[in-house]
Amino acid sequence: MNNKAPVKVIEGIPFFSDDRYWGKAPKEELEKALAIIEEKGWDEFKARYRDRFDSTFEENRADWRFVVPLSGESFVLDIGAGMGRISVPLARAVKKIIAVDNSFLRMKFLKLRAEKENLNNIEVCVGDIFDLPFERESFDLIVMNGVLEWVGVTDRFSNPSEAQIASLKICHELLKPGGHLYIGIENRFAFAYLRAIDHSGLRFTSYLPRWLANIYTLFRRGKRYQAFTYTKSGYDKLLQKGGFADTTFYLTYPGYNLPRLMIPYDNINAFAYAVRTFLPSIGWKRKVARFLARWPLLLRVYRYFFFSFGMVVKK
Amino acid sequence: MGENPNWLRKPGSSLSFMKMSTPEPEYGAEESKVLVFVFEEGERRPTICAKTTRTYSAGEVIRNNYSNLQSLAEGVRGSVYADMFAKPLYLHDKDNLVFSLESVCPGVKFSLLERDTALVIEKYIGWQSHLATSTEKTWGSGDITDLANKTIKTLGLSGDSALVLSNYYKHLAFDSNVKLPVLVQHGDFTLDNVLIYGEQINLIDYDHVGISKLPGFDLFNLFLKSEGRIGLLRTNCERYLPQYFGKIGARIAPESYDSILFVHYLQERQRKMHLEAYQEKSGEEIVNSFRSLVAK
Residue B99 forms contact with A (CB below 8 Å): no
Say what the alpha-carbon torsion angle A165, A168, A173, A179 is, to the nearest 10 degrees. Answer: -150
Q: Determine the distance in angstroms separating the CA of A64 from the nearest CA of chain B, rounded to an integer.
A: 8
| Contact (CB, 8 A) for A107 and A10 | no
Chain B positions in Cβ-Cβ contact with residue A279 (cut-off 8 Å): 109
Distance CA B279, CA B292 (A): 19
Residue B35 dihedral angles phi and psi, to the nearest 5°: -115, 135
Q: Which of B19, B39, B54 comes nearest A267 by C-beta? A: B39
Task: Tell me: pLDDT of B113 over 60.
Answer: yes
Among the residues of chain A, which ranges form H helices?
27-40, 42-49, 87-91, 104-116, 148-151, 160-174, 210-221, 232-241, 268-278, 284-292, 296-302
Contact between chains at B54 and A273 (C-beta distance less than 8 A):
no
**Lowest mean pLDDT segment, chosen from A157-161, B127-131, B132-136:** B132-136
Closest chain B residue to the Cα of A253, Cα to Cα: B20
Whether residue B18 and residue A261 make contact (CB cut-off 8 A), yes or no, is yes
Query: How far is residue B34's CA from residue B53's CA, in Å, rounded to a whole number?
Result: 6
Q: Is A103 exposed, middle or buried (0-12, 13-18, 19+ CB in 10 A)?
A: buried
Query: Residue B105 in 3-state DSSP?
Result: coil
Q: Cα(A270)–Cα(A278) distance, rounded to whole angstroms?
A: 11
* Coil, helix or strand at residue B245: helix
User: Over chain B, what is the mean pLDDT?
Assistant: 87
Which residues of chain B have a CB within 8 Å of the CB of A89?
A: 54
pLDDT score at B5: 57
On whether any CB of chain A is under 8 Å from the CB of B55, the answer is yes
Helix or strand or coil: residue B17? strand
Long-range contacts (CB closer than 8 Å, 24 or more residues apart) made by A198-204: A198/A227, A198/A229, A199/A149, A199/A150, A199/A227, A199/A229, A200/A225, A200/A227
Please report the pLDDT score of residue B11 as a whole number: 78
Is B18 near chain A, with CB under 8 Å?
Answer: yes
**B292 with B234: CB under 8 angstroms?**
no
Percent of chain B with pLDDT over 90: 53
Q: Is the Cβ of B32 closer than 8 Å to some Cβ of chain A?
A: yes
Burial B178-188 (b: 16+ CB within 10 A, else e): bebbebbbbbb
Mutate: best of A71, A269, A278, A292, partner B, most B CBs <10 A: A269
**Closest alpha carbon within chain B to A288:** B111
> For residue B37, which residues of chain A lie inside 8 Å, CB to CB?
270, 273
Q: What is the pLDDT along chain A (315 residues), one digit of tens a residue?
A: 677 889 999 999 999 999 998 887 889 999 999 999 999 999 899 888 877 776 667 788 899 999 999 999 999 999 999 999 999 999 999 999 999 999 999 999 999 999 999 999 999 999 999 999 999 999 999 999 999 999 999 989 989 999 999 999 999 999 999 999 999 999 999 988 888 899 999 999 999 999 999 999 999 999 999 999 999 999 999 999 999 999 999 999 999 998 999 999 999 999 999 988 877 656 676 677 777 788 888 889 999 999 999 999 999
Helix axis angle, B283-295 relative to B159-171, nearest 10°? 30
Length of chain A: 315
Q: Are B96 and A72 a contacting pair at CB < 8 A?
A: yes
Rounded Cα gap, residues B256 and B174, in angstroms: 5
- pTM listed for this prediction: 0.89
A-B CB pairs within 8 A amount to 84
Calculate helix-pair angle for B233-247, B257-272, nearest 10 degrees: 110
pLDDT at B292: 86
Contact A293, A157 (CB under 8 A): no
Give the closest-approach CA distance of B54 to chain A in angstroms: 8
- Which among A66, A263, A273 is the nearest to B44, CB-wise? A273
Which residues in A have their CB inside 8 Å of a CB on B? Answer: 59-60, 63-64, 66-67, 72, 89, 92-93, 250, 259-264, 266-267, 269-270, 272-274, 276-282, 286-287, 290
Contact: B36, A66; criterion CB under 8 Å? yes
Residues linked to residue A230 through DSSP beta bridges, in sequence order: A187
Domains of chain A by residue range: 8-267+306-314
- Closest-approach residue (CA) in chain A for B230: A282
User: Residue B32, SS3?
Assistant: coil
CB contact under 8 Å between B110 and A269, yes or no, is no
Q: Which residues contact B181 (CB under 8 A, 6 or more apart)?
A: B131, B132, B135, B137, B138, B139, B215, B248, B249, B250
pLDDT tens readout for residues B223-245: 988 877 777 788 888 899 999 99
Whether the Cβ atoms of residue A180 and residue A244 lie closer than 8 Å to each other? no
Cα angle at B271 between B269 and B275, to 5 degrees?
75
Comparing alpha-carbon positions, the chain B residue that sits nearest to A263 is: B18
Do the Cβ atoms of A168 and A155 come closer than 8 Å? no
CATH architecture assigned to A8-267+306-314: 3-Layer(aba) Sandwich (3.40)
Chain B: residue whose CA lies nearest to A291? B111
Q: In chain B, which among 77-96 make CB contacts under 8 A with chain A?
A: 96
Neighbours of A206 (CB within 10 A): 24
Beta carbons within 10 angstroms of residue B229's beta carbon: 12
